[in-house]
Amino acid sequence: MILGKHASIAGGIDKSLKRAAEIGCNSVQIFVKNPRGWKARVLSDAEVERFKINRKKYNINPVVVHAAYLINLASPKQELWEKSISALKMELSRSARLGAEYLIFHPGSHTGSGIDSGIKRIAEALNIIFSEIDDSLTEKTKILLENTAGAGSSIGQDFSELKAIIDKVEQSEKLGICIDSCHAFAAKYNLQQKSGLNKLLSDLDDDIGLSMLKVIHLNDSKHNCCENKDEHAHIGEGKIGENGFKELINHPKLKDLPFILETPWFEDEVDQDVILLEKLRY
Ligand SMILES: [Zn+2]
Ligand SMILES: [Zn+2]
């Protein structure tokens, strides 16, 4: 099983790899800058080199980057939209420098301008990014759109919305999809049951194609199915429950994909999610 955890980059980006390996992971997700601000400190060559050395040492594959939460490519506000484009470009170049395979971002919120307008904005932003950056960056790092829980005016709770974005992007081969189990459950798929998982997979295949799916975020949900509320819970402690995750991680169409846990334990605690998932895997 390819199992990763979102790991802290405190003390240097290279430190995240040891943190993931120590709890029994062979993949990792990281931020490449403070996720709640626009500014980023300079990434030195030495830090990038240490990251690459540690990655080999701990045998971590793939490396997944999660983009900052402030980025909103769907925004109707020109200033925020332009800032978001620059920020995602910067994250892409940092991800590629580190050799990360994937950079995941949330499609964004239209904040009142409407879903269609938001979708157009996102696609336009991606077209600008792909036309401005060097192809060598996207050869290293694929950009993944993450499905959302559908809270507020967020775009991407429905696969048809993600498909509409992809269709409008000229170099769409540079894109892929990340599915978050909590978001899918909050949006509309009852992942407690195998039937809910199969419905998700058939919808995804019909709308976008399963081959676009590259990463799965494994989060249980504090809220019930279809409530559009995005609050993660530890595996088995939420409304999806152990059985739902057993079906998910062993599904023949998913079992070879990287699964990434995003719910943190305190640093000195044993990671119960990793232990439980190893038990549920057959
Ligand atoms: Zn996310
Ligand atoms: Zn979430």
The pLDDT tens digits of the residues spanning 231-271 come to 999 999 999 999 999 999 999 999 999 999 999 888 778 89
Residue 254's closest CA among 264, 244, 262?
A: 244
Annotated catalytic residue within 6, 232, 247, 271: 232
Whether 170 contacts 209, CB under 8 Å = no
What's the rounded Cα separation, in Å, for the pair 108 and 75? 7
Residue with tokens 């559009």: 228
Asked about 66 being catalytic, the answer comes back as yes
**Binding residue ranges:** 66, 106, 146, 180, 183, 217, 230, 232, 262
Single-letter code of the amino acid located at 281:
R
Residue 267: predicted pLDDT: 73
Residue 119: predicted pLDDT: 98
Ligand nearest to the Cα of 106, by number: 1
Q: Write out pLDDT tens, residues 121-163.
A: 999 999 999 999 999 999 999 999 999 999 999 999 999 999 9
Residue 137: predicted pLDDT: 97
Cα-to-centroid distance, 256 and ligand 1 (Å): 20
Q: CA separation (Å) from 97 to 16, 63, 221?
A: 16, 12, 34
Q: What is the mean pLDDT of residues 205-232?
A: 98
CA angle 140, 146, 147 (to 5 degrees): 155
- Mean residue pLDDT of the chain comes to 97
What's the rounded Cα separation, in Å, for the pair 54 and 151? 38
Annotated catalytic residue within 66, 94, 97, 110: 66
Domain chopping of the chain, boundaries: 3-280
Asked about 278 being catalytic, the answer comes back as no
pLDDT score of 227 more than 90: yes
pLDDT score of 13 more than 80: yes
Q: Which CATH architecture has domain 3-280?
A: Alpha-Beta Barrel (3.20)
Cα-to-centroid distance, 230 and ligand 2 (Å): 5
Single-letter code of the amino acid located at 127:
N
Q: Which residues surround ligand 2, an ion (CB under 5 A)?
A: 230
Cα-to-centroid distance, 179 and ligand 1 (Å): 9
Q: Read off the pLDDT band of 102 (50, 70, 90).
A: very high
Q: CA separation (Å) from 163 to 27, 276, 282?
A: 27, 34, 33
Q: What is the mean pLDDT of residues 22-36?
A: 95
Q: What is the mean pLDDT of residues 70-97?
A: 98
Cα-to-centroid distance, 151 and ligand 1 (Å): 13
What's the rounded Cα separation, in Å, for the pair 239 and 220? 7
Q: CA separation (Å) from 94 to 101, 170, 234, 280?
A: 12, 23, 30, 35
pLDDT score of 58 more than 90: yes
Asked about 189 being catalytic, the answer comes back as no
Q: What is the mean pLDDT of residues 158-186?
A: 98
Residue 264: predicted pLDDT: 87
Cis check for the bond before 62: say yes or no (omega within 30 of 0). Answer: yes
Cα-to-centroid distance, 1 and ligand 1 (Å): 21
Q: CA separation (Å) from 115 to 27, 71, 169, 178, 239?
A: 34, 17, 16, 20, 29
Residue 92: predicted pLDDT: 98
Residue 281: predicted pLDDT: 96
